[in-house]
Amino acid sequence: MTLSTKPLSGMRQRLPHEFRVEKYVVETLSLSSLNAGFEEYDCPLIEPLSLFAAKSGGELVGRQSYNFVDRGKREVILRPEVTPSLARMIAAQGELQLPVRWFSSPLCYRYERPQRGRVREFVQFNLDILGSENLAAELEVILVLQDIMKSFNAPSSIYRIGWSSRRFMAEALSRCGVEPESAPGVFSAIDKRDKMKEDAWYTFLLGECGGDSDVADRVLSLVSVKSPSSKWLIDLMAGSAAFEEVERFNELLLSSGIESAEFSPGVVRGLDYYTGIVFELVDTGGENNRSLCGGGRYDNLVGLFGNKKISGVGFGLGVLTLTLFLETYGLIPVSVKEASAADVYIAVSSPDFVSSAARLALSLRKEGIRVMMDVSGKKMNKQFSEATRYGITSVVTAGADGAMYKMKNIDDGSVFTGTLDELIGRLK
């Protein structure tokens, strides 16, 4: 039997140049989080299935997850996301100084059809604040999200942070005439709006509204509203505390100067545990109109583990989806895409000089200089070609210990000759 050279469908593998870009994206995300006072954490790859069945939603657990019975006869799941795990970790900590501000970049797994930007094994960046019920927590995570986009030099013209509120939308749907038993289906239909053609979507919505076109038309009007100051919306939501929260948050965003945030009632998020403000980061540049990131307020997750009631707010961002966005608009720096593997290449002209080349490599590495030493034993012209292949422009030819060192710049052909100290100074 001949083994396949391909990975399983949807499973990730990264060649060095691809991994370099992914690492740059993850490190930039982490730096923005650290700059805002967040701390990094990690959680188990495998969790009890019940943890996710409780709050992530039936579709995610039942149809999109990798779950199985392990050798201990336990029903387990490869984490499809980390928020339930985070809630479990917080609940287990006993007395915590709240609020906590944590972030992570774990591998996650979802069994869905692989396509551009959507695979089965992926890195998902997550950032959360737990232990604050103040709207300032929502404001802070959106501030970090906007700072992330600015750190990638993404102009505000190619992305938008759409936001709404699950609490507000639940009440608004009821005032539009949606029956309680139909609300989950209508929420699901609203979440799918951007993924379907308008006519097909309206037909789908109509079915979820029990075939009542008046109700469906009011829901359509609701999700089409562009501002909390809409007279139609104000009349619909008169006396609503949930709508007053929406108005307060809108004022917070405006007064804080977050120009990329935009009120959008169609943002409801597909996961069942969201309870308050929700938001999505969307590509609006015209190349790939899709969601890059989503998140919101979840009030009840930690309470699943006992009497401890801790509210949380956060978001999850697919690193692959963000990377494709950055590549589409030319936002990956050339210095990352074409980075060299080392600062200097040591060419070895003879087997007699291998040990002296090794000692030179050690001396340079101690000084923080990245060194690639030839291990091929090929002819000198082949070694210079090898350096070029790795993007290394400086090549030192190893000689006897104590000798002067000769370094050639492949780009311009210039040659430098000097002692070890002079070579180190030159490379630094």
C-alpha to C-alpha distance for 208 and 182, rounded to whole angstroms: 6
Residue 241: name the closest of 180, 163, 184, 171 by CA: 171
C-alpha to C-alpha distance for 412 and 6, rounded to whole angstroms: 41
Yes or no: say if 299 and 311 are a contact pair by the CB < 8 Å rule. Answer: yes
C-alpha to C-alpha distance for 276 and 165, rounded to whole angstroms: 5
Residues 6+ apart with CB under 8 A from 103: 29, 30, 33, 38, 39, 40, 41, 125, 126, 127, 128
Yes or no: say if 401 and 356 are a contact pair by the CB < 8 Å rule. Answer: yes
Structure tokens at 164: 């709404």
User: What is residue 413's predicted lDDT score, i.e. its pLDDT?
Assistant: 93
Structure tokens at 29: 């995300």
User: What is residue 275's predicted lDDT score, i.e. its pLDDT?
Assistant: 87
pTM of the model: 0.87
C-alpha to C-alpha distance for 88 and 51, rounded to whole angstroms: 8
> How many residues are given for the chain?
428
End-to-end CA distance of the chain: 53
User: What is residue 58's predicted lDDT score, i.e. its pLDDT?
Assistant: 65
The tens digit of pLDDT for each residue in 68-100 reads 999 999 999 999 989 889 888 888 887 778 899
Can you list the residues of the chain whose pLDDT is less than 50? none
User: What is residue 310's predicted lDDT score, i.e. its pLDDT?
Assistant: 84
User: What is residue 401's predicted lDDT score, i.e. its pLDDT?
Assistant: 58
User: What is residue 400's predicted lDDT score, i.e. its pLDDT?
Assistant: 64
Domains of the chain, with CATH numbers? Answer: 16-334 (3.30.930.10), 340-427 (3.40.50.800)
C-alpha to C-alpha distance for 253 and 151, rounded to whole angstroms: 20
Yes or no: say if 409 and 394 are a contact pair by the CB < 8 Å rule. Answer: yes
